[in-house]
């Protein structure tokens, strides 16, 4: 079915493109020689896109994969949310991935994807994302496009300035948006000021396996740490966080945390803090958080509770942390490809503030401080600021870059993208967005080497852009061609959930490494059957384990008797296909969970607790072959006290 | 690939309808006298089609695919047989049983019916074979349209499986 749907949606997409070819409807100002917008986004049937785009799903909890410039959606990767389409979070193997210190959580709010880097350039091994609500970081393989690891972040609340990686993927960084008591305790909310903390977490990434380890947490004052970006090139070793609510208000925040004329960008010299902890610095603190790891060979996740975290008091590490005053509750905190400019987008301001890394170092060297906040030196605005972009827009939010010295900033309030020049701060072009743009993405835009051909603007409001679908509309994204001096809006496409942020890369970086099958001879699942003669059914008390294999177009076994009401039946199903894109599905009538979709060579487990006597059918849920309709079987369920031995068969 | 297989299966469905239903197992309930129709391709002109594809001798046909010519050592290599037997068990026995006709034909005696090249090409790229080789196409029809799966077998592995087949007289 999946493939049929895909087939029909492709046809629909192509049809829509043709309809969109009418002259004069695309806003192109080009003359007769300019290629039309339709040609620029048209990817002919059988052709493939030039770029991958990974858009966060926001409150869907998942990550979506699109192609550029077509805007076609290829896949939804389940990360923090249960996903019946594949059985993620429902199958026995993947349930542990959603374990936390608060128990099993079937959902989160996924915000910011970031692709792994080597020497500041995209290397396409993994993509990291954050769960905002119950603070977590996930690592997704860009070979299998599956979630491989989820680590919970203790001492955090609203994991928002995350999941950004340093330029050699040494760390994935997770900062708290909401300050919270550390450790958590029963205390009056209005004693927030001076008592709550803002934890900035540095999670190390194993260079070979990608395995995550919460190495240390810097316990900052109780501000709200909004977004962050790594230093690169000359500023490698630093990480920059935007903050708001430096007022430390705890109520009516939309007024009370907008009182200060300036908030801060926090500059953290993590190399210095890393040295400090490597030399025994920091304080171990008792805590409790989950670390969930999925193994590609056992096809199974395991969850481990960790009980300790290393915390660092920033005032104990001189020269490691500074505040850069930045106007009006900055949201975006973006570093240009050279690593020299740190761009603060004060979201209640008209202007964009640009700080200079060189000037920052000079001011630190000269100890030109303008007081301190909780023992952390505050630099003087005039000493670190190197330029302001007088844009004429309102509500600057997020900036990315091309490789020609241009920056592109979204403006939420005035609904536009503004292109400006690094160094001269002059505005080169501006184009409207439809409507109320949040973040934008240029493939590689958060790296030393951006691919400045397309820009994707992720809009918060859709209104009239598509046929109405009731009060709720999918969000809308817009693609701009940024290869010329002026930006050109070339395409609209709907996006799933609420994309807050995105990351993109050239298709060639991932295409060749994308896994096609799991090898059956590498399957280490404890309940796998690697040949059909191992298929069997075993009873252990009221647990029944069905070791089942499947290939086009039958299950082995397909007739099972001797199951009783009150049993807990585990169907461990191994897909014996070794061909690309031939999954099989499984579901059985009355199951209190979802189907599972089993990839070639993979084993997955689905639980069924039959409550009624009868003969209950099961079947394959994914159209797999000409004989897919015949891919079915029966389980006979006898009364709880029946004297029925287990038996199973196929074709007898 | 998917689309191809969907189109192909649609065609096949039409074809199957034209050829009549499956054999019913007699039960205490109602039963209908229906004998299995002889499966014959519609544009049937060749005399060879009087014999079901599974029983035809097509030793001169090398099939379609990367294996163009293959000569076998008179002596069977038992090391390869062992490897081939293990591969066959994991990758093929879901559909092919040595002792009986199952989803697909039994490999028993296949060396007397098919050329070594045909066998390897069928293992290595069953889809291409079904599209372009008459015998493979007829076998698909004879076996209810159960398309043989591509199990991503390497040439070396397929050669071992072939060696194993040599022991199945």
First to last CA, chain B: 36
Give contacts of B150 with chain A, Cβ < 8 Å: 578-579
Residue B78 touches chain A, beta carbons under 8 Å: no
Question: How are the residues of chain A apportioned to helix, strand and coil, as percentages rounded to the nearest 5?
Answer: 10, 45, 45
Distance CA A52, CA A267 (A): 31
Mean pLDDT of A18-22: 41
User: Which residues of chain B have a pLDDT value below 50?
Assistant: 1-2, 5, 8-24, 40-47
pLDDT band at A24 (very low <50, low <70, confident <90, very high): very low
Looking up tokens 């900036």 gives A399
Q: What is the pLDDT of residue A254?
A: 86
Q: Locate B62 and state its tokens.
A: 């090398």
A175-179, A365-369, A487-491, B13-17: the lowest-pLDDT one:
B13-17
Nearest chain B residue to A630, by CA: B146
> Does B94 sit within 8 Å of A517, measured CB to CB?
no
DSSP 8-state symbol, A95? G
Strand A559-564 versus strand A647-649 pairing type:
antiparallel
The predicted structure's pLDDT at residue A113: 98
Q: Does A93 touch chain B (CB under 8 A)?
A: no
Question: Residue B1: its chain A contacts at CB < 8 A?
Answer: 580-581
- Per DSSP, A96 falls in state G
Tell me the angle at which helices B155-166 and B116-124 cross, rounded to the nearest 10 degrees: 130
Chain A residues with CB under 8 Å of B6 CB are 3-4, 7, 623
- Candidates A626, A628, A631, A652, partner chain B, best to mutate (most B CBs within 10 A): A626
Q: Which residues of A touch B5 (CB under 8 A)?
A: 625-626
How confident is the model over A453-474, as a mean pLDDT?
96
Number of domains in chain B: 1
Q: What is the pLDDT of residue B22?
A: 44
Fold category of A520-649 in CATH: Immunoglobulin-like (2.60.40)
> For the segment A201-224, what is each residue's pLDDT rounded down to a tens digit?
999 999 999 999 999 999 999 999
Contact of B95 with chain A, judged by CB distance below 8 Å, is answered with: yes
pLDDT, tens digit, 9 for 90 and up, residues A325-346 = 999 889 999 999 999 999 999 9
Residue A625 to residue B152, Cβ atoms within 8 A: no
The residue of chain B with its CA nearest to that of A577 is B151
Task: Please judge whether B151 and A578 are an interchain contact, meaning their C-beta atoms are less than 8 angstroms apart.
Answer: yes
Residue B15 at interface with chain A, using a CB cutoff of 8 Å: no
Q: A95-122, pLDDT tens digit by residue?
A: 999 999 999 999 999 999 999 999 999 9
Cross-chain residue pair A556–B94, CB shorter than 8 Å:
yes
Burial (Cβ within 10 Å: 0-12, 13-18, ≥19) of residue A128:
buried
CB proximity B98 to A under 8 Å: no
- Return the residue of B nearest to A631 by Cα: B146
Domain segments of chain A as ranges: 2-17+35-511, 520-649
pLDDT at B12: 44
Question: Could you report the predicted ipTM of this complex, rounded to two decimals?
Answer: 0.77
Residue B66 sits at the chain A interface (C-beta within 8 Å): no
> Which residue in A4, A580, A627 is closest to B146 by CB distance?
A627
Of residues A599 and B15, which shows the higher confidence score?
Answer: A599
pLDDT at B48: 55
B45 occurs within a structural domain:
no
pLDDT at B28: 64
Instruction: Round to whole Å and give the CA distance between A398 and A192.
Output: 29
Domain membership flag for residue B43: no
Over residues A130-142, mean pLDDT: 98
Among partner residues B6, B12, B152, which is closest to A517 by beta-carbon distance? B152
What's the whole-number average pLDDT of chain A? 94
- The size of the A-B interface in CB pairs under 8 A is 67
Q: What is the mean pLDDT of residues A171-199?
A: 97
Instruction: Look up the CATH number of domain A2-17+35-511.
Output: 2.130.10.10
Non-local CB neighbours of A43 within 8 Å, separated by 6+ positions? A49, A67, A69, A70, A72
For B42-64, what is each residue's pLDDT tens digit?
444 444 567 999 999 999 999 99
| Residue range of the domain that includes B123 | 56-169
In 3-state terms, what secondary structure has residue A365? helix
The pLDDT of residue A626 = 85
Mean pLDDT, residues A262-270 taken together: 96
Closest Cα in chain A to B125: A579
Choice among A1-5, A113-117, A582-586, B109-113 with the minimum mean pLDDT: A1-5
What residues contact residue A191 under an 8 Å CB cut-off, 6+ apart? none
pTM for the structure as a whole: 0.89
Domain-embedded: residue B27: no
Classify residue B41: in a domain, yes or no.
no
| Whether pLDDT at A32 is above 70 | no
Closest-CA distance, B88 to chain A, in angstroms, reads: 9
CATH code where residue B162 lies: 1.10.760.10
Q: How far apart are CA A499 and CA A349, in angstroms?
A: 24
> Residues of A30-42 as b/e, b for ≥16 C-beta within 10 angstroms?
eeeeeebbbebbb
CB contact under 8 A, B149 and A521: no
In a domain, B12, yes or no: no
In this model, does residue A17 exceed pLDDT 50? no
CA end-to-end span of chain A = 30
State the burial class of residue B6 (Cβ atoms within 10 Å of its Cβ: 0-12, 13-18, 19+). Answer: middle
Residue of B nearest to A576 (CA): B91
What average pLDDT does range A221-231 have in this prediction? 97
Determine the Cα–Cα distance for residues A481 and A503; give it in Å rounded to an integer. 17
A9 pLDDT higher than 60: no
Residues of chain A with pLDDT > 70, as a percent, come to 95
Q: Is residue A2 pLDDT above 90, yes or no?
A: no
């Amino acid at each position: 079915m999946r493939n049929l749907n895909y087939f029909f949606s492709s046809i629909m997409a192509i049809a829509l493109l043709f309809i969109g070819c009418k002259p004069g409807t695309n806003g192109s100002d080009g003359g007769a020689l300019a290629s039309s917008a339709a040609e620029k986004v048209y990817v002919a049937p059988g052709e493939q896109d030039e770029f991958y785009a990974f858009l966060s799903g926001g409150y869907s909890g998942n990550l979506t994969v699109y192609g550029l410039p077509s805007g076609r959606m290829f896949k939804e990767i389940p990360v923090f949310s249960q996903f019946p389409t594949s059985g993620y979070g429902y199958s026995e193997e993947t349930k542990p991935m959603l374990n936390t210190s608060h128990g099993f959580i079937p959902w989160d709010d996924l915000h910011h994807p970031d692709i792994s880097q080597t020497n500041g350039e995209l290397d396409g091994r993994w993509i990291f994302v954050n769960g905002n609500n119950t603070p977590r970081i996930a690592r997704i393989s860009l070979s299998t496009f599956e979630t491989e690891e989820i680590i919970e972040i203790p001492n955090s609340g609203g994991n928002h300035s995350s999941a950004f990686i340093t330029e050699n993927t040494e760390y994935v960084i997770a900062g708290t948006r909401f300050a919270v008591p550390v450790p958590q305790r029963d205390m009056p909310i209005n004693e927030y000021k001076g008592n709550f903390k803002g934890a900035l977490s540095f999670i190390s990434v194993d260079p070979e396996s990608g395995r995550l380890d919460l190495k240390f947490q810097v316990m900052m004052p109780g501000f709200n740490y909004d977004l962050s970006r790594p230093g690169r090139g000359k500023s490698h070793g630093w990480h920059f966080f935007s903050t708001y609510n430096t007022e430390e208000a705890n109520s009516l925040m939309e007024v009370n945390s907008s009182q200060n004329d300036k908030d801060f960008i926090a500059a953290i010299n993590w190399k210095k803090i890393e040295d400090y902890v490597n030399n025994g610095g920091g304080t171990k603190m008792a805590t409790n958080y989950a670390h969930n790891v999925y193994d590609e060979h056992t096809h199974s996740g395991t969850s481990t509770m960790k009980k300790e975290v290393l915390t660092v008091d920033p005032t104990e590490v001189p020269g490691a942390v500074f505040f850069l005053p930045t106007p009006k509750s900055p949201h975006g905190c973006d570093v240009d490809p050279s690593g020299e400019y740190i761009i603060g987008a004060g979201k209640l301001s008209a202007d964009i503030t640009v700080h200079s890394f060189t000037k920052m170092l000079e001011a630190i060297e000269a100890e030109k401080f303008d007081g301190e906040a909780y023992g952390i030196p505050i630099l003087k605005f005039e000493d670190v600021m190197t330029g302001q972009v007088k844009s004429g827009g309102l509500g600057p939010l997020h900036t990315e870059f091309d490789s020609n010295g241009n920056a592109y900033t979204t403006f939420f309030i005035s609904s536009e993208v503004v292109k400006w020049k690094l160094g001269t701060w002059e505005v080169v072009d501006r184009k409207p967005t439809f409507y109320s743009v949040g973040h934008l993405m240029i493939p590689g835009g958060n790296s030393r080497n951006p691919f400045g051909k397309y820009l994707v603007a992720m809009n918060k409001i859709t209104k009239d852009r598509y046929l109405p679908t009731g009060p709720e509309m999918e969000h809308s994204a817009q693609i701009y061609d940024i290869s010329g001096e002026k930006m050109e809006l070339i395409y609209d496409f709907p996006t799933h959930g609420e994309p807050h942020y995105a990351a993109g890369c050239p298709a060639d970086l991932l295409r060749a490494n994308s896994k096609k099958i799991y090898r059956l001879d590498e399957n280490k699942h404890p309940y796998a059957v690697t040949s059909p003669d191992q298929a069997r059914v075993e009873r252990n008390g009221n647990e029944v384990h069905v070791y089942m294999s499947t290939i086009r177009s039958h299950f082995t076994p397909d007739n099972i008797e001797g199951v009783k009401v009150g049993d807990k039946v585990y169907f461990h199903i191994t897909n014996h296909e070794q061909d690309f894109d031939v999954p099989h599905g499984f579901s059985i009538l009355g199951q209190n969970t979802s189907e599972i979709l089993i990839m070639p060579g993979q084993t997955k487990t689905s639980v069924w607790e039959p409550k009624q006597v009868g003969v209950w059918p099961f079947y394959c849920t994914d159209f797999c072959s000409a004989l897919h309709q015949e891919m079915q079987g029966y389980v006979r369920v006898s009364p709880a006290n029946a004297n029925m031995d287990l038996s199973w068969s196929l074709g007898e | 690939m998917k689309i191809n297989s969907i189109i192909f299966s649609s065609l096949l469905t039409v074809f199957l309808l034209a050829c009549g239903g499956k054999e019913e197992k007699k039960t205490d309930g109602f039963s209908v006298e229906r004998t299995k129709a002889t499966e014959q391709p519609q544009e049937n002109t060749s005399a060879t089609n009087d014999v079901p594809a599974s029983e035809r001798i097509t030793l001169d046909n090398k099939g379609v695919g990367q294996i163009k010519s293959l000569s076998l050592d008179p002596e069977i290599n038992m090391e390869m047989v062992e490897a081939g037997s293990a591969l066959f068990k994991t990758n093929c026995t879901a559909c092919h049983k040595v002792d009986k006709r199952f989803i697909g034909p039994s490999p028993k005696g296949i060396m007397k019916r098919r050329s070594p090249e045909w066998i390897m090409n069928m293992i290595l790229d069953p889809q291409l074979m079904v599209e372009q080789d008459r015998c493979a196409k007829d076998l698909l029809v004879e076996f209810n349209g159960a398309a043989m799966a591509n199990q991503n077998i390497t040439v070396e592995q397929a050669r071992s499986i072939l060696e194993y087949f040599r022991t199945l007289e």
